[in-house]
Amino acid sequence: MDRRRFVERGLALGILLIATAGVAAAADGPATVRIGFQKSSTLINILKANGQLEKDLAGLGVSVKWSEFSSGLPLLEALNVGAIDLSGDVADTVPIFAQAAGAKLTYVAAEAPSPTAQALLVPESSSIRSIADLKGKKVAVTKAAGSHYLLIAALSQAGLTFKDIQPAYLTPADGRAAFEKGAVDAWVTWDPFVAAVQKQSAVRVLADGTGIANYQRYYLASSSFAASRPDVLKLVFAKLKETGEWVKKNPEAAAQILAPAWGLDAAVVSLANSRRSYIVRPITPDNIADEQKIADAFFSVGALPKPINIGDAQSWSPDKQASTQ
């Protein structure tokens, strides 16, 4: 009997040590998660507004620090230099440029394709009727954004190259200003900027991403944070998935939350949200293949200094820690 009790106590002690080791591993990681986001980071904006993510992370002993960025590229630059730990969703093109710059990034999650959530716009009165008509024209585009790839792919489909147009690399705000005063002939951008100009100006959609560009948005973490706090990533992933489902089921309520955060009226927000999937899911080989296609397209037009192998990046899933594809 004494021997049996000794064995049982030994087993109990072993289980306790394993559990304690898990807690210690998490405790060794950062106690604050620094989250970067932009206006189009819808689900993160909602979680920031309702405080739910902060409340749930407090249960892990983790606090949240928020930082807003004007677009995706500076957001991932901040991730690369260690200024933030986790990014809200960015366009599928942005991680490629970050990887080209040597960033140690981990793909955490993807949103299912939303090809109509970005578009190439012309004034309603424009004589431009097809992508082929853009030859020789000046087109506003944000460098490294999803819309940058949409423009490259649309031109290619029409038998043109990037050299056939005059690109004007502008932020969304500057792009809209140039577009509305006639300084450019066309403007390619993404929601909610597409929805805003559609509601407020006389414009025409020359093309969206349908059949041209999938437009998937990605959530990323620094590789060091992904390795040290998989428990945080698992909780964030679950909250993003849950919030995405809520937005699609409650579009009016979501628009009311986002309108003040975006500085737009609810009708604009509703239109933008209707074109986003908000289906959050783990990274798959199909995501990596799609990213590789985009990277190759950018390299072919000289937008990247060297070929990029997306398979060299790390990925994370709710069932495992970060690993190389």
Cα angle for residues 235, 222, 189 (degrees, 5° grid): 90
Domain ranges in the chain are: 31-114+216-324, 115-208
Q: What is the CATH number of domain 31-114+216-324?
A: 3.40.190.10
On the question of pLDDT at 176 being above 60, the answer is yes
Give the global pTM: 0.86
Residues 172-205 as b/e (b if ≥16 CB within 10 A, e otherwise) read beebbebbbeeebbbbbbbbbbbbbbbbeeebbe
pLDDT in tens, 111-130: 999 999 999 999 999 999 99
On the question of pLDDT at 70 being above 60, the answer is yes
Same topology between domain 31-114+216-324 and domain 115-208: yes
Q: Which of 25-34, 147-156, 166-175, 240-249 has the lowest mean pLDDT?
A: 25-34
3-state class (DSSP) for residue 165:
coil
Rounded Cα distance, 148 and 140, in Å? 9
pLDDT in tens, 83-95: 999 999 999 999 9
Name which of 138, 141, 151, 142 is nearest 183 in CA terms.
138
Q: Which fold has domain 115-208?
A: D-Maltodextrin-Binding Protein; domain 2 (3.40.190)
